Every structure is written in C-alpha cells, then in structure tokens.
C-alpha cells in the first residue's frame, strides 16, 4: 500500500529547505519540534503552513523576528512584509503536540489497512504519517529536509532519504536524516531497532527490526536486492539512496519513499517476502517515484499489483498466472457489485473490500489487457518512458495513455474510456452453438452475447477436439458476435477466454461460494445453534468484526426457517440440531457435531474448527456459511482469521492455525459448450 495519493499543485512549487529538529517523549505521547525553513523567493504576500490542529505553544519568526500569525484549525497563515516577498525568507516555527491516536491490538479486520491511525507516539513505537501535521508544511512547496530526531536512548528513528547516522548523546539517541528528493508528506517511525545493512551498487539496503525479529533480517536483505535488480531492469534506475524494511509496532503494510513499514507480526508471515515486500518496493517507482495525480484517480495500486503480485505468478508458470488472473476477476465480481462499484478514475485508496477490488484487482487486470492490446515491447517501453519523464512529478491515467499511444502508434481512447472512466465489465454467454462436418473439417456456429452496457473486447475461442486445441480470435463490439469457426477435428468442447485474459463479470455458476461472498454481502443473518461446546454469541460477534459485515443480525436456531426464506446470506454459528436445516452439501462433505469430513480429510479433534460457505438452497445469488467449532480451543482465533482467506470455500483450523483450505467444484460456465455427440 502506497502512502495516500495527492493531487499535484497547479502552480510551480516553491523550493523549501527544512532544518527540522524534533524530540520524542513517548511517556507523554508528546513531540517537541522546531523547523527552520529557508523558503525561496516568491511573490506571496502570505505563507500558508499546515500544522496539526493539536499543536500547542506555537511560535513563529520571520528572518529572526517574532511574527504574529492567524490560525484556523490545522492552518497557520503568516503574513509577509512587502520587502520580504521578492527574496528568500527564513521562517522558524517552534511547537509541541501530543499524538495519541489509538492503535489496534490484534485487529480482526484489515480491509482499511491504516486502521484510521495518523499519528501515535507510544512506549512501543512511534508512527507519524505524512499529512498528520507533525511538522510544518508549506502549501505548494517542493521540500528537502535535514531531520534530527532525539528520542530516549536506544530508540532509533527512520524516515525517507539517506541516514546520517544514529548516535547516543547525553542519555538520548539522536538520528539524523537527509532527504533531498521530493516527497509528498514525510512519515516517521521510531522504536528500539537494531540495524542490519548491505549495499547494492550505490544503494544502501537495510532492515530496522526489533530484537525478536533480527533472525529475519538476512532473508529480507537478500530478497530486497533481488527486487531492486528486477525493477531496475524493467523500469529504470532506482531513484532513492536506500531501501529499508522497517518494523512497525502494529500490523501495517505501508510503502513510503525509500522504505516500507510492516508490522512485526506481519514480518513473520511466510508469504510476505515473496509477495508484499516486492509490492512495496515497486511503489518506489510507481506512487513514490512517479507521483499520482489523484484528481484523475489513483492508478499506482493497480499497476503495482500487476508488476508485483501478478508478475511473480507469471514468472512461476503459465498455470499460476492464469490462476492469479481468475482470482482477480473473482474478487472483482464478488466484492464490487454493480450497485456499489466506482470507476477506476474515482479510486483513491483502499478503505473497504469494494475499493480494494476496484483499485487493485480491476486495476491490475486493466494493465494486463492493455499489455495484450499493444504488445510486450510497446507496453514495457511505455512504462520506462513514463518513469523517465515523470520521476518526482504527478502522472495521471491520461499520461499513461499518452505514453502507451506514443510507443504503440495507436489511438487508445476507447480503451481508457471504457475501462477507466466507466464502471463495470462485460457479461458474456454463448448461445445456439452448433457444429457440423464440412469438407473433411468442422464448422462451428453460434453467438457470443453481451448484456448491456456493451464493451469492446477481443477474446479467444478455443476449440478442443480429440486432444487438439485450436484458437480463434473473436472481436466483440456490440450486443453479440456471430461465430464462424473451423476445426480440423471433431469438436468436443468450445471455451471462450479459457485463460481468463479478459476482465468480466462472472456468472454465479463460475464463482464457488467463498468467504468473499460474505464480505460483500449487503445483509447477513447469523444463526446461533441451540447447543454447543463454545460461546456462540461471542463467536458471532468476532465474525461480524472479522468479516467487516456492514449490516448483520443475530437470531436463534428457532428462527432459521424464516431466515432461510428471506433470501439473505446466512452464517450458521454451530451445527443446527435438525439436520434438515443445513444447506445442500457438496459431494464428499459430511458434518456432525464432533466430526467433519471433507474430500477424504477428517477433522475431529477438540482444538479444530471448520468453516464452509455453501450455496443458498432458496436464493441462487446468496450463500449459507457454517462455523463449526469441534471444541472450544482455538475457535475464537479461527473466527478472527477468516477475513484473510477470502477466496476459499472451506477452511479448517487447529488451535487457531490454518490446517486446510480449498474450493468447492464450480458449475459449468456460460462461456463453455460441451458436445455429447456430433452437432449438439
């Protein structure tokens, strides 16, 4: 996740050199600051300075003399005399503030990855976001910083830019940093870090971990070097003097200029090095290197997801890449329903499942389709051009379009209009498919039908005949395209876009019920079984918070029939006493109060918990889920972790640790036709 996107200023920014000194007092959640700014000459009659509304004892000097100022909320307005308006100005701001935003302890839901925390100074650590007002910021400026941070001894501070060292002085630890590259809001972290470093060319690679996580440092340093080398080959030289992996004291995943801030518990997750770390490093090119002009939408999360999370799968194998594309399409279909979806041009940041599905999943698929539309050479060359021309400058979707058009020599207005400016995606199905022998071959007819609103799309139709596959292009521009395909062998099946290269709204038959089906639900009813060995009401409360259920009601098992008939999504908490109250179960699934069987796997220990999501027996678009604790041990921990397994149909946990996960078989797709005999 990159730092929040911001809109570029219309006027040429004013150069400002900050000499910023802060003292951190964790015992009081207090910061004492002084910023001596050298502001380049301009014609401004007034300086507008952003500083936290909670700042107190604010004093302002201009060129060494005290200066009265107006204050409204988080804005200071400092008047300049006529003779000061055409020459450099020395502005000195002294202040102090308490930053005590509550931080989450073992949060159950991470749909909003910042948890609403902007600034917090604690004994465990310090977290100060750019934009939180922890230092004075001149509106419309291009800042550089010399930052000195004094903290209790042993507490090291980390920010963007180049480290000038950490030294102990007079019972305190002083950290110094030089930030010469432009930044859009400076963030600061501090804790009892130990530093490990290595160099890659002119770049310093570092880890700032607390003592319990020091064993992780070598693997993070090695992986960081690999990611930097990869992205330099793809996009151009790394634009910062260092990259640091920094531990946070609560579970976050931020990408800042030249470092990433990852929660200490998150660092130990086995998949972080292979996925999230590279994503945050890619943001040093996209989002923190090339800025986002958010007035036209945040493109950086979609692009970073594509060149990180997706690209890693593509480098593994074609099968992994196809699976990743299909999952992004499923996420989009499930979590961004038409009634709530926004267009990419309006996506700014991830705050809930819908914005994540649009900005990350749909955004990544749009870049994938763009790459296929213009070809490998033009796509990657356009990204290199964009990076070279817009480093430390804002870029918009229009700038991306211009770069790709210049490299491809094609007009792509239609592509960006339908995929970026409009919400939605095509909904497709095959109709009237027939196959007939003709002159030693086979002809296949039928129609590919598109529901309104219509999208322009180029897709592939693959004919399977006796182990031989033949691929045909289909151009879809309106409500339908007629099929006129030929096959050299008798066809056994026809599939449109079987490799999932096209973003579309999947049919319900193509999406196995999953945890995500609940996370996107408008209304969920939780049904408590009459008897169980666990506190079902507490489990229900944990489920509501973990899954981020916006509207949820809790009823007893006696009300299950009426709840089923309502057509709402349901979560059964505990096994109903009447077996007939369960939804229809897939083949290979058997349930009892003390035992679960799934595809040959048996779960029957008292520290095991099962969760499954099934199709609703009376409403095709709805689901019925079951949380079944086989004993009290670990049930609450399992319920709190479900949100992290959104794609899966079923899960099993042992003492709160995931033991098994998988998908139910999906029904036939409306884009697949199978022949049982010639011609039908």
β-pair partners for 174: 150, 167
- Residue 9 pLDDT exceeds 50: no
- Residue 639 pLDDT exceeds 50: yes
Q: Could you tell me where the DSSP H helices lie in 375-513?
A: 376-390, 397-408, 413-416
- The whole-angstrom separation of Cα 352 and Cα 340 is 11
pLDDT per position as a tens digit, 404-420 = 999 999 999 999 999 99
pLDDT per position as a tens digit, 309-364 = 999 999 999 999 999 999 999 999 999 999 999 999 999 998 888 999 999 999 99
pLDDT per position as a tens digit, 560-581 = 777 766 778 999 999 988 766 7
Mean pLDDT, range 541-564, rounded to an integer? 85
- The whole-angstrom separation of Cα 468 and Cα 584 is 37
Exposed, middle or buried by CB within 10 Å (0-12, 13-18, 19+), for 63? middle
Is beta strand 394-395 parallel, antiparallel or unpaired with respect to 291-292?
parallel
pLDDT per position as a tens digit, 479-523 = 999 999 999 989 999 999 999 999 999 998 888 899 998 988 888
Q: What is the pLDDT of residue 5?
A: 46
Asked: is 14-104+115-192 a CATH 2.60.40.1730 domain? The reply is: yes
- The whole-angstrom separation of Cα 136 and Cα 36 is 10
Give every CB contact of residue 317 below 8 A, 6+ residues apart in sequence: none
Q: Are 335 and 356 in contact (CB under 8 A)?
A: yes
Q: Are 343 and 420 in contact (CB under 8 A)?
A: yes
- The whole-angstrom separation of Cα 470 and Cα 460 is 10
CATH number belonging to domain 194-289: 3.30.2010.30
SS3 404: helix
Q: What is the pLDDT of residue 568?
A: 83
Residue 294, phi then psi, degrees to nearest 5: -70, -10
Mean pLDDT, range 651-658, rounded to an integer? 94
First to last CA, the chain: 50
Q: What is the chain's alpha carbon radius of gyration, rounded to the nearest angstrom?
A: 28
- Residue 679 pLDDT exceeds 70: no
Q: Which residue's structure tokens are 């004094």? A: 150
For residue 643, which of 112, 39, 78 has the smallest C-alpha distance?
Answer: 112
- The whole-angstrom separation of Cα 580 and Cα 597 is 18
Q: DSSP letter string over 424-454?
A: ----EEEEEEEEEEETTEEEEEEEEEEPSSP
Residues in the chain: 680
Hey, where are the domains in the chain? 14-104+115-192, 194-289, 291-421, 428-510, 515-662
Q: Are 327 and 40 in contact (CB under 8 A)?
A: no
Q: Are 220 and 245 in contact (CB under 8 A)?
A: yes
For 218, the token pair is 């070598």
Q: What is the pLDDT of residue 11?
A: 66
Q: Which residue's structure tokens are 């839901």? A: 109
Query: What order do you get walking across the sheet with 137-138 strand by strand?
Result: 70-72, 75-79, 46-50, 137-138
Exposed, middle or buried by CB within 10 Å (0-12, 13-18, 19+), for 81? exposed
∠ CA 531-537-540, nearest 5°, is 115
pTM of the model: 0.88
Q: Are 189 and 158 in contact (CB under 8 A)?
A: yes
SS3 653: strand
What is the sign, positive or negative, of the torsion defined by CA atoms of 290, 242, 19, 125?
Answer: positive
pLDDT per position as a tens digit, 150-203 = 999 999 999 999 999 999 999 999 999 999 998 989 999 999 999 999 999 999
Give the CA-trace dihedral at 505, 461, 649, 519, to 10 degrees: -10
Q: Are 273 and 227 in contact (CB under 8 A)?
A: no
Cα 441 to the center of its chain, rounded Å: 49
CATH topology agreement for domains 194-289 and 291-421: no
- Residue 533 pLDDT exceeds 90: no
- The whole-angstrom separation of Cα 643 and Cα 377 is 39
For residue 559, which of 539, 585, 578, 546 has the smallest C-alpha distance?
Answer: 578
Asked: is 291-421 a CATH 1.10.390.10 domain? The reply is: yes
Mean pLDDT, range 381-398, rounded to an integer? 97
For 524, the token pair is 């969920």
- The whole-angstrom separation of Cα 414 and Cα 424 is 15
β-pair partners for 209: 194
How many other β-carbons are positioned within 10 Å of the β-carbon of residue 657? 11
For 610, the token pair is 């099962």
**More confident of the two residues 79 and 440:** 79
Q: Could you tell me what percent of the chain has a pLDDT over 90? A: 78
421-460 burial code (b ≥16 CB/10 A, e <16): eebbbbbbebeebebeeeeeebbbebebbbeeeebebebe
Mean pLDDT of the chain: 92
Q: What is the pLDDT of residue 666?
A: 82
Q: What is the pLDDT of residue 680?
A: 57
Q: Identify the DSSP state of 527.
A: E
Strand ranges inside 210-349, DSSP E: 242-248, 253-256, 259-263, 291-292
């Amino acid at each position: 996740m990159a730092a929040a996107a911001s809109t570029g200023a219309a006027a040429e920014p004013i150069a400002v050199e900050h000499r910023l000194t802060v003292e951190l007092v964790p015992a009081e959640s207090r910061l004492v600051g002084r910023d001596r700014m050298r502001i380049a000459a301009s014609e401004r009659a007034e300086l507008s300075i952003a500083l936290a509304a909670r700042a107190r004892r604010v004093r302002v000097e201009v060129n060494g003399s005290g200066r009265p100022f107006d204050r409204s909320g988080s804005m200071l307005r400092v008047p300049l005399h006529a003779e000061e308006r055409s020459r450099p100005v020395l502005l000195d701001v002294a202040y102090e503030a308490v930053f005590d935003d509550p931080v989450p302890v073992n949060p159950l839901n991470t749909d909003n990855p910042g948890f609403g925390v902007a600034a917090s100074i604690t004994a465990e650590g310090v977290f100060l976001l750019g934009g939180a007002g922890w230092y004075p910021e001149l509106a419309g400026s291009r800042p550089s910083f010399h930052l000195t941070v004094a903290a209790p001894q042993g507490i090291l501070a980390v920010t963007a830019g180049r480290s000038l060292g950490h030294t102990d002085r007079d019972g305190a630890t002083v950290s110094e940093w030089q930030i010469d590259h432009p930044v859009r809001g400076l963030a600061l972290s501090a804790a009892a870090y130990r530093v490990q470093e290595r160099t890659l060319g002119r770049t310093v690679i570092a880890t700032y971990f607390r003592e319990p996580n020091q064993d992780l440092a070598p693997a993070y340093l090695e992986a960081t070097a690999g990611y930097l080398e990869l992205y330099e080959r793809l996009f151009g030289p790394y634009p910062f003097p260092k990259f640091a992996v920094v531990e946070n004291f609560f579970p976050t995943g931020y990408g800042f200029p030249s470092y990433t801030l990852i929660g200490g518990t998150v660092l130990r997750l086995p998949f972080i090095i292979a996925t999230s770390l590279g994503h945050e490093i890619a943001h040093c090119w996209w989002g923190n290197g090339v800025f986002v002009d958010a007035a036209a939408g945040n493109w950086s999360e979609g692009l970073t997801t594509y060149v990180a999370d997706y690209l890693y799968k593509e480098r593994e194998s074609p099968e992994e890449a196809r699976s990743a594309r299909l999952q992004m399409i499923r996420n989009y279909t499930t979590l961004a329903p038409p009634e709530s979806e926004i267009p990419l041009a309006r996506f700014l940041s991830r705050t809930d499942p819908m914005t994540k599905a649009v900005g990350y999943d749909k955004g990544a698929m749009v870049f994938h389709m763009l790459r296929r539309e213009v070809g490998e050479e033009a796509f990657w060359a356009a990204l290199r051009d964009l990076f070279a021309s817009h480093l430390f400058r804002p870029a918009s979707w229009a700038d991306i379009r211009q770069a790709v058009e210049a490299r491809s020599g094609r007009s792509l207005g239609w592509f960006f209009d339908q995929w970026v400016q409009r919400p939605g995606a095509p909904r497709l199905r095959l109709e009237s498919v027939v196959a007939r022998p003709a002159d030693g071959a086979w002809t296949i007819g039928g129609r590919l039908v598109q529901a309104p609103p219509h999208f322009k799309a180029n897709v592939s139709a693959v004919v399977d005949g006796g182990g031989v596959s033949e691929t045909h292009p289909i151009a879809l521009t309106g409500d339908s395209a007629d099929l006129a395909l030929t096959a050299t062998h008798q066809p056994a099946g026809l599939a449109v876009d079987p490799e999932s290269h096209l973003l579309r709204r999947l049919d319900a038959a193509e999406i196995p019920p999953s945890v995500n089906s609940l996370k996107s639900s408008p209304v969920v009813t939780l049904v408590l079984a009459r008897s169980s060995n666990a506190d079902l009401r507490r489990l229900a409360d944990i489920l509501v918070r973990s899954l981020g259920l916006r509207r949820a009601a809790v009823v007893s098992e006696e009300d299950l029939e009426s709840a089923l008939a309502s057509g709402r999504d349901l979560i059964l908490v505990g096994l109903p006493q009447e077996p007939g109250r369960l939804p229809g179960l897939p083949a290979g699934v058997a349930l009892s109060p003390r035992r679960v069987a799934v595809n040959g796997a048996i779960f029957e220990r008292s520290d095991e918990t099962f969760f499954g999501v099934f199709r609703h027996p009376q409403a095709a678009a709805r689901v019925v889920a079951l949380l079944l604790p086989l004993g009290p041990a670990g049930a609450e921990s399992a319920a709190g972790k479900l949100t992290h397994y959104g794609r899966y149909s079923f899960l099993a946990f042992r003492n709160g640790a995931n033991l098994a996960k998988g998908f139910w078989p999906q029904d036939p797709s409306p884009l697949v036709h199978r022949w049982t005999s010639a011609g039908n």
